[in-house]
Amino acid sequence: MWRYIVESEYSCAIFNEDRTHRFGLYRKFPTGHGSLCIVTLHPGSGDREKEDAISQLCTDIAIHYGYRWLWNANIYSFIAEDTQELKDCGYPVDTMNDAWVRSMVHAADNTLCAWGEDALPEDVQGIFSGIKGKDLNCFWHPGGKIEPAYIRDVQRPYTIKKFAVS
């Protein structure tokens, strides 16, 4: 089961009943145009009222690039403060989360893939295999793909390139 939590017109979060999994986090900004879905590895403690480090970076990126809406989805819905905690839990896969990710990617004007190198390829493929006709994008720099946790300053001249899930 999931429950939809809405506290303001500008923010909401979707959790399971015991709040150990977050399926989505939404932000609406006062200005901007269009919607950006950023797919990260896993959620932190951010909710409808507060940001965690990753959700704050996602918010900064969306505002910097002029979006009105931010939808933050995750490869894994389990709420973890770091990647090691996620690994210790065995990378739990949730079919409800997969459905939420697909719906946010389909609805968004643009999607930024930002889960880094720690997602298991079969889990990424399981989510994205059913998504057709949508461009997926990723931040790139001369060293390769990076995730939001490593983007210290969204003002830097990162290049956005199309990304194909293999």
Residue 105: phi and psi, rounded to 5, are -65, -45
Distances in Å between the Cα of 93 and the Cα atoms of 17, 30, 59, 120, 122 are 17, 35, 25, 10, 10
pLDDT for 75 equals: 92
Q: Give the tokens for residue 142.
A: 């001369």
Distances in Å between the Cα of 140 and the Cα atoms of 3, 9, 125 are 35, 33, 20
Q: Give the tokens for residue 36.
A: 């950006």
pLDDT for 156 equals: 55
Residue 80, classed as helix, strand or coil, is coil
pLDDT for 5 equals: 55
In this predicted model, what pLDDT tens digit does every residue of 93-126 receive, in sequence order? Answer: 888 899 999 999 999 999 988 887 788 888 888 8
pLDDT band at 11 (very low <50, low <70, confident <90, very high): confident
**More confident: 1 or 65:** 65
Classify the phi-psi angles of 140: left when phi > 0, otherwise alpha if psi is within -120 to 50, otherwise beta: beta
Is residue 69 within 8 A of residue 38, CB to CB? The reply is: no
Residue 157, classed as helix, strand or coil, is coil
**Predicted TM-score (pTM) of this structure:** 0.86
pLDDT for 70 equals: 96
- The distance in angstroms from the start CA to the end CA of the chain is 31
- From the list 67, 25, 69, 49, the residue with the least C-alpha distance to 154 is 67
The mean pLDDT of 65-84, rounded to a whole number, is: 92
Number of domains in the chain: 1
DSSP 76-119: --B--SSHHHHHHTT----HHHHHHHHHHHHHSSEEEEE-TT-S
Alpha carbon 68 to chain centroid, angstroms: 16
Report the amino acid identity of residue 50: K
pLDDT band at 81 (very low <50, low <70, confident <90, very high): confident
> 43 lies in which domain range?
2-163
- Which of 51-65, 78-92, 138-152 shows the lowest mean pLDDT across its residues? 138-152
Distance (Å, rounded) from C-alpha 165 to C-alpha 126? 10
Average pLDDT, the chain: 82
